[in-house]
A and B are shown apart, each in its own frame.
Chain A
């Protein structure tokens, strides 16, 4: 594959970058926009507070002055910014009044990510993020705009050439994108925000609803309209956010690296070394699970500060296709789900009781509030409804929970919120394994098993039989050599004595 091309920096090309180079002119525009954004608030404040009179003319003058100043600043910044490749290190110099020099030895560069925002697209340039192991989400050096030809040459000179030929590749089609957006789990995240915005609007424009929203719960029609508007707004926001984030999603394996491209307004291209992937999480959300669909998330140490989208291996996939996806993209990490060691039947009661009680209490409080506000007696049904929802949640959590040690993989499944999450991790990458017994669990002979990954993801199975949890912890040993695996008929190593066989 192209790993040879990729691994070794191109000396000849490197020589062409020996003299400091300016960025593409688009960089002037991007820094002008940044400056304008920074200036906008003080300008508005001055325009409004700085004295009465003038009105519109005054505002336009301020806007023009601000725009011109920003543009000038952008050009000056662009002139003061340069990069060069000197004695095996990438040097970046920026800053008008106090120039900063950043130097990264070529060997320390872990990846070069490409981002193309609307401005860069307008100018036909790309933004390069030079990533180092320990660097933040944005990259140690950000070249705000580089012409595509320069970008190609620089990548080759640094030994991170874009692959010409392609390895296995998967793209998210339009239908799948729309389906992913329709079932986006952001719904639950956006709803409270939109709700808060509605409440704020209600306070501001109280007249619209005559008085506060919740004073008139008695009028079902009005409440229904408000609720429908709330859900509609939430849906539109979460749908479009998902489309903008995942449009054109494409993942490709080029030898020992994954390249992931995505984004509608801002095209992002990131690359992740396959060896750095500690595991994946298969997330079956509330709206996706019934259709057998899931999102596959990458678990990689050091990318913890990145947003969730940056850690997505694939936004929407049939759960039964996950093994094939993994075999293509993350060879060496089996995507099949083995039979799991499950909590015993006596744990069911514990799974169900707490959420049922919590749901009942919340439902009861809501019913009380509705009745107090003048709602009818049927409102009391909310209480058992809450308890029922809680119990259902507990039952689903019980049915999802389980873990297994299968060869060099550790598999853990649990329900988190409304989603079922299956963690498939490289066993030797687990950072911490613990078994916890509360006094109540102790009496019932149960225990909670928990692991932590370098990505910050933690997985937990509640109420396993205590001796099984201990056995699982005992089986996870870290000898310096590879553990002598005891093979089963299926060829996968048996996990621990008495564990269920590996059936897929």
Chain B
């Protein structure tokens, strides 16, 4: 990771639940399976496509599907870092494009913990931080961590402010 020389703010260090990779993989199956099954089926139905082109298209579908299921979730999980400090929520994520986001604690309006059906089975939850400008999500935290952080943010953001 690169370090900004003049930055006095520490880099975020906490990670998402390790189950996040599995959950993202399950999610990716939702499009990867139709893709890898659909492309050969459609090609067979159309007919008249040269053999080499057909093999290439099927190979491409399989590669894209495999990347989406195997590589991207792993990469995304490895890149995700977050921290909740006294004065701000700090996120850094992105598998290709890297995004570092700071949300000042004084601006937080409320916090949600969201648990989808699948996430509950894996004991994870999403933390959603709401500000007047919109919301910021830290996905796939271990449930205990999500609840702890929610309470912490609720506590910290209570500090009165001018508005």
Contacts and interface: CB of A to CB of B under 8 A. Distances in A.
Interface in A456-487: 456, 458, 466-467, 470-471, 473-474, 476-480
A436 B6 contact: no
B104 A478 contact: yes
Given A453-B132, A470-B4, A477-B88, 16 more contacts: A429-B163, A430-B104, A431-B104, A432-B133, A432-B136, A434-B99, A434-B100, A439-B97, A452-B131, A455-B132, A456-B134, A467-B6, A470-B6, A470-B7, A471-B7, A478-B104
B106 interface: yes
* Shortest beta-carbon contacts, A-B, top 3: A454-B132, A470-B4, A431-B133
Contacts of A497: 6
Interface in A383-432: 428-432
B4 A471 contact: yes
A431 B101 contact: no
A93 interface: no
Contacts of A431: 103-104, 107, 131-134
Contact of A442 (B98, B104, B161, B162): B98
- Secondary structure at the B interface, as helix, strand, loop or mixed, is loop
Interface string B88-113: 10000010111111111111000000
Interface in B9-56: 9
Interface residues of B, number: 32
A210 interface: no
Contact of B97 (A275, A432, A436, A454): A436
Contacts of B116: none
Given A276-B163, A437-B97, A454-B131, A428 B102 contact: no
Contacts of B102: 432-434, 473, 476
Interface in B119-163: 131-134, 136, 159, 161-163
Contacts of A435: 99-100
A501 interface: no
A496 interface: yes
A478 B96 contact: no
A467 B161 CA distance: 31
Contacts of A455: 132
A104 interface: no
16 contacts: A428-B162, A429-B163, A432-B101, A432-B136, A434-B99, A434-B102, A435-B100, A436-B98, A438-B97, A452-B133, A452-B134, A455-B132, A456-B134, A470-B6, A477-B87, A478-B104
Contacts of A473: 4, 7, 9, 100, 102
Interface of B: 2, 4-9, 86-88, 94, 96-107, 131-134, 136, 159, 161-163
A276 B104 CA distance: 18
A478 B87 contact: yes
B69 to A, nearest CB: 21
Given A434-B101, A438-B97, A474 B8 contact: yes
A348 interface: no
A195 interface: no
Contact of B88 (A434, A466, A478): A478
A401 to B, nearest CB: 19
A439 B73 CA distance: 18
A474 B10 CA distance: 9
Interface residues of A, number: 37
Contacts of A33: none
A428 B87 contact: no
B65 to A, nearest CB: 22
A79 B131 CA distance: 43
Interface in A161-181: none
Contacts of A67: none
Contact of A456 (B6, B8, B9, B133): B133
B93 to A, nearest CB: 10
A88 interface: no
B99 A436 contact: yes
A375 interface: no
Nearest to A467: B4
A437 B98 contact: yes
A302 interface: yes
Contacts of A471: 4, 6-7
A309 B136 CA distance: 29
Contacts of B94: 436
A436 B96 CA distance: 10
A458 B134 CA distance: 11
A431 B134 CA distance: 9
A310 interface: no
A480 B87 contact: yes
Q: Count chain B CB atoms within 10 A of each CB in A454, A467, A470, A478 and give the residue with the most.
A: A478
Contacts of A458: 133
A275 B162 CA distance: 8
A453 B134 CA distance: 9
A261 B22 CA distance: 58
Nearest to A470: B4
Given A429-B163, A430-B107, A478-B87, A467 B97 contact: no
A217 interface: no
A452 B129 CA distance: 14
A453 B98 contact: no
Contacts of B97: 436-439
Contacts of A39: none
Nearest to B135: A432
B71 to A, nearest CB: 15
Nearest to A440: B97
A13 interface: no
Contact of A454 (B2, B101, B133): B133
Q: Count chain B CB atoms within 10 A of each CB in A276, A439, A480, A497 and give the residue with the most.
A: A480
A301 interface: yes
Nearest to A273: B163
Contacts of A496: 6
